Structure 1
């Protein structure tokens, strides 16, 4: 009986000693890791490089902030600078000096004189006759009688044939007044205004070497080939046969010096009354680049179709904004490339069915709204996007099969798990909930989970590795694997592949050893004792 008890006690002592050794080793390893994770011994974390999309998003956000701030401070409620004041000569209007109205009212009659010559700045000359005089033009007439169209054909000089410029001058005066400043009785500078614009457009011509791929010969002449060898780029004058003259029909009150750009370039004020002239806009927006043709010595005459019509304020602002955008993009990407892009947009607007165009705009707006909502709720939406992009994990750690241990057979008391980062790569703890899961392979159920954002003592982020300290005893003879949720290494909102999950059960598998069934047999031995009686003879 005593031998049996001794055997049992020895088995218990061995198992207890093994458990104590594993506990001591895990505690010592935990202390060692916690010491490495202290600020004094840990290397400072390396900041993750921003993705291109994060840089673009930050840049656009700054542009929007600057735009809203400038718009907020753009229009002051009171004018403090003396440059913004219009000092009228007539004292009777001194109380209304800051607000300016249109010098003309709707229904006033104009006389319009149109000149075409080679002078850049308009200057009246008796010897130069207008090519078109439009009398009794009614201001703000939106009927069919308010639109006038005229086809003009005129000869050109040798200077224009040889890359010279040609200009359009439109002079407007009140009906009954003359544009001749020498006629003092009928001329009034107050009621006369004009606008000038260059009609021809200069385009680059690049000479390139071209050959027939089959014959190896070129169809270009020797002069062309020589220019191509010298990389010659020429600016050639081109012509378009359409021009629209718009008179802005608007009676808004403007404050001189506070008109937002670029509209301020088109609004001119009368120095005598402080009122502003109607905006005269020479519109060539719908002239497509493909419709221009070069002006050379083979052309003796040019034709031009001129349309005179009113225009609304919102449409005029649209044309101005498009021209400003075109000039900005021209400075960034070049005029030729910008004009070609503009042509594509114009063709889409002109040739597309209006109903289909409206539907496209509505769909684009709805798509933009959903994108904004996606940024507001970035985690779930971005996760869906990432999952749809690739069904299997594209995480860098998974693709590169990052070093992780232990694997295979482990003790049921195993508590230290390590995953090494690739070289020059580091990760920091996320602020949103994400889990590391120890799963049972056979049932796919979670055995234990750790929230990396909250359970900081169990999940430790070091500069070169991720350490997991488990505090459970695993079931013997069971297969397990470690699953990593999206967002453990990078926030899901970044939509980067390192934010994706690692759920492949072959990435980090392990199993625990089976414990043998120990049967203790207790036997009792009975010892029989024999008493022998010896007869002795005693002598008395």
Structure 2
């Protein structure tokens, strides 16, 4: 005996609903698997085809460079003048021309700017084309700069040497006379600086170059800091 028409339609609808659920589940699962495949493919592609980065050498200068002092830390300064390029006479008070304390490091305020004017009397050696050097030492406030001091620590101080006198060729008078000018003009000679290494000059007129030392009237000391790292 055939079932009623209403029951047949209900059974068909239920069967259709049960068949749609597996299809929806299979569609969601295929989407997830597709995303996983794309992620795996992207990982291996980026690993094999991306430019290789060189490993960072921890001993490289760029990695070792850092500030010895913290920002605002107090420093002391010693300024020595000596005719020797190497300086270790820290006990010589006559060579110490400038001493400052409690200079804030990397703080650019009027308090961190120090100035001093001094008079230096050159020796006979210096007057005869001798050399003069400025030896500048910095250290944490309260720490010594003398390596022979028992409390000396290399990482608490630093120094720099600067040549105060520089050398230039001595000026000489121009002895050439102008044939077109007046005798008065020819007698007056103007000083000129010798040109060193001029290959176009006449070899017969070449004379030994005399060098003289000239003073640098100003010495500027700047502390460079870098807190970008």
1:148 has 2:114 as partner: yes
Count of residue pairs the alignment pairs up: 158
Q: Is the 8 A contact 1:102 1:252 kept in 2?
A: no
* Post-superposition offset of 1:155: 1.0
Q: Quick one: distance in 1 between partners of 2:188 and 2:221?
A: 45
Q: Quick one: distance in 2 between partners of 1:100 and 1:237?
A: 37
| Partner of residue 117, structure 1 | 82
Q: Secondary structure at the match of 1:160?
A: helix
1:234 has 2:210 as partner: yes
Q: Quick one: distance in 1 between partners of 2:112 and 2:54?
A: 38
| 1:417-496 alignment runs, 5 A limit | none
| Partner of residue 244, structure 1 | 220
Q: Secondary structure at the match of 1:123?
A: coil
Q: Quick one: distance in 2 between partners of 1:183 and 1:233?
A: 46
* Post-superposition offset of 1:245: 0.2
* Post-superposition offset of 1:210: 4.0
Question: Per-residue CA shift, 1:234-259, capped at 9, x if unaligned?
Answer: 22111121111000132233xxxxxx
Q: Quick one: distance in 1 between partners of 2:136 and 2:129?
A: 23
Point out where structure 2 has 5 or more consecutive residues left out of the alignment.
1-52, 191-203
* Post-superposition offset of 1:104: 0.7
Q: Is the 8 A contact 2:75 2:139 kept in 1?
A: yes
Pick from 169, 176, 185 the counterpart of residue 204 of structure 1. Answer: 169
Question: Per-residue CA shift, 1:162-189, capped at 9, x if unaligned?
Answer: 111110110001001112333313x222
* Post-superposition offset of 1:219: 5.3
| 1:288-299 alignment runs, 5 A limit | none
Pick from 55, 58, 68 the counterpart of residue 78 of structure 1. Answer: 55
Q: TM-score, normalised by structure 2?
A: 0.60
Question: Per-residue CA shift, 1:421-464, capped at 9, x if unaligned?
Answer: xxxxxxxxxxxxxxxxxxxxxxxxxxxxxxxxxxxxxxxxxxxx
Pick from 132, 140, 147 the counterpart of residue 174 of structure 1. Answer: 140
Q: Secondary structure at the match of 1:245?
A: coil
| Partner of residue 434, structure 1 | none
| Partner of residue 187, structure 2 | 217
Q: Is the 8 A contact 1:211 1:217 kept in 2?
A: yes
| Partner of residue 198, structure 2 | none
Q: Quick one: distance in 2 between partners of 1:150 and 1:206?
A: 32
Question: Per-residue CA shift, 1:472-517, capped at 9, x if unaligned?
Answer: xxxxxxxxxxxxxxxxxxxxxxxxxxxxxxxxxxxxxxxxxxxxxx
Q: TM-score, normalised by structure 1?
A: 0.27
Q: Secondary structure at the match of 2:220?
A: strand
Q: Which has the higher contact order (CA 8 A, sep 6+)?
A: 2
Q: 1:99 to 1:188 in 2, by over 3 A?
A: closer
How well do the aligned residues superpose, as a CA RMSD in angstroms? 2.8
* Post-superposition offset of 1:140: 1.6
Q: 1:78 to 1:85 in 2, by over 3 A?
A: farther
